Amino acid sequence: MDLEKFKILFLSFLFSIIISVIVQKVVKDFVEGEDYTKINIKKMMIFLIISSFLYTITIIKIYTNNLDRICYFIFFILAIIISLIDYYTMYVYDILIFSGIIFQSIVKIVNGNVEILVDSVLAGLLCALISYLIVKVTNMMGTGDIGVYALCAMTIGFKSSLSLIPSSFLVSTIILMGKFIFGNREKKIAFAPFIVITTILNIIGLDVFSIYLKIVEKIV
């Protein structure tokens, strides 16, 4: 193993430990009482370490710009926190959403490119508006998911955000079908994790909706 690969692996492992500890502590602060007793801490930490490790390696390899790396690392931490809290409590805290939106805006400003900032803001507004209409018309999601869509859209930009909502519904359908087949038939589901999973896949170069369209095209 050469020095560069060792460095990537070491940094990825170090970051995964740091991210996991931060996420666990923040989740503990937000999830209290009976909801917190439902959490299997050991399983959660294993999940956090493995997912953070794989995510970190991927980001380091794909993105060479340190500002992009920082942007996606901070997003990952906030997104995982939001997802876990929503999963265990069915609630999305505004302070976490606004913290993420403010951070993303600061990163775009520091980047010094006005077009990127405008692109990010438009992406957030577009997804917030569409998800708001979905909530009002269908009641398929909670109002907290509007903020999650806005944060995720700002992170990936306007072009990628165009497929964010349909992609998240595809991801949720696939996962829920799998859970249904294996006997898990929950009446209420947390939707934020599906939005976050879709966004993370997009960040690492996997557009779920485009993949779906290609599969349909081959079948048809």
In a 3-state reduction of DSSP, which class is residue 183?
coil
Per-residue pLDDT of the chain (220 residues; tens, 9 = 90+): 677 788 888 889 999 999 999 999 999 889 877 777 878 889 999 999 999 999 999 999 999 888 889 899 999 999 999 999 999 898 999 999 999 999 988 888 887 778 888 999 999 999 999 999 999 998 888 899 999 999 999 999 999 999 999 999 999 999 888 888 877 766 678 999 999 999 999 999 999 999 998 988 888 7
pLDDT at 8: 83
Cα–Cα distance measured from residue 46 to residue 107, given in angstroms and rounded to the nearest whole number: 30
pLDDT at 114: 83
pLDDT at 1: 60
pLDDT at 200: 96
pTM of the model: 0.92
pLDDT at 187: 65
Q: Which alpha helices (DSSP H) does 1-89 contain, by range? A: 3-30, 33-37, 41-62, 66-89
- The residue type found at 118 is V
pLDDT at 185: 67
124: Cβ contacts below 8 Å, ≥ 6 apart: 101, 150, 151, 153, 154, 161
Q: Tell me which residue has tokens 């990537």.
A: 8
- Contacts of residues 56-62 at CB distance under 8 Å and 24 or more positions apart, as own/partner, are 56/11, 56/12, 56/15, 56/16, 56/19, 57/8, 57/9, 57/12, 58/204, 59/203, 59/204, 60/8, 60/11, 60/12, 61/8, 62/204, 62/205
pLDDT at 152: 97
Cα–Cα distance measured from residue 192 to residue 144, given in angstroms and rounded to the nearest whole number: 8
pLDDT at 38: 79
